[in-house]
Structure 1
Amino acid sequence: MFKKIMVPVDLSHLSVIEPSLQAAADMAGFYQAEVCYVGVTAVTPGSVARTPEEYAKKLEVFAQERGKIHGQPVSSKTIQRVDPSADLVDTLVEAIDTISADLIVMPTHAPRNLDIVMPANGSQLAAKTNASVFLVRPRQ
């Protein structure tokens, strides 16, 4: 059913996104699908890397390590933005189209009142793409 699973990754918050990483690995194994880990980084130095090129290398190492865990093909895609959070949803929609992902597995937060005014990234993403979006809540 699914051939390519896209997993948005923030390398500075790996412990928080572990449940979504595990869900993606499980689905990749079940569907024999490739997993593409997508990271959006600033063009300026950050807490994870000094340059976008360094970030891309770290993301690729991360992807290969995850591939060893679940045994399915992996790839990585790094996207550079001046302000990664400003247009994150549109950036991820572009990535979905570029890599031809048919399933996106990503973490989410518990619903809150503010979501009425500012919807979560996952719901916005689902509204803007034809790919399936699987949201994984963090463990409580």
Structure 2
Amino acid sequence: MFKRIMVPVDLAHADKLEKALALAGDLASHYGAALVYVGVSASAPSSLAHTPEEYAEKLSGFAAEKGKAHGVSAEARSYISHDPTIDLDATLLKAVKETGADLVVMASHIPNVTDYVWPSNGGTIAAHADVSVMVVR
């Protein structure tokens, strides 16, 4: 049913993504699909990585580890943005097309009052992507 599952990840908060990561791995294993872990980072140095190349290496290592854990093919796609907090939705929608994903599995937060003012990333991706999107709480 699914051939390529895109999983947006924030490596700084990978510990909070475990339900979505486990679900993506289980679906990939069940359907024989490949996982594509997508990360968006700034080009400026951060506590996570000093350069875009270092960020890409860390994301690749993360993808390899998760793919091995679920026994499926996995790859990483790193995207660099001037301001990921503003560009995240547009960058993830671009990644859906570029990766050839036919499913997106992404983590979400518990809705709160700010969601009435600013839409959630998961809600925006689900509303605008041309593929199925599973938002996992």
Give the TM bin, normalised by the shorter chain. over 0.9
Asked if 1:61 corresponds to 2:57, the answer is no
The residue aligned with 2:124 is: 124
CA distance in 2, matches of 1:16, 1:25: 16
Map 1:58-137 to 2 at 5 A.
58-137=58-137
Structure 2 residue runs of 5 or longer lacking an equivalent are none
- Of all paired residues, the percent bearing the same amino acid is 48
Q: What is the total number of aligned residue pairs between the two structures?
A: 137
So what's the TM-score if we normalise by structure 2?
0.97
* Root mean square deviation, CA, Å: 0.8
The residue aligned with 1:11 is: 11
Give 1:21 shift. 0.5
CA distance in 2, matches of 1:61, 1:6: 16
Give 1:96 shift. 0.4
Give 1:76 shift. 0.5
Matched position secondary structure for 2:86: coil
Matched AA of 2:19: P
Give 1:127 shift. 1.2
Matched AA of 1:54: E
Superposition misfits of 4+ residues, deviation over 3 angstroms = none
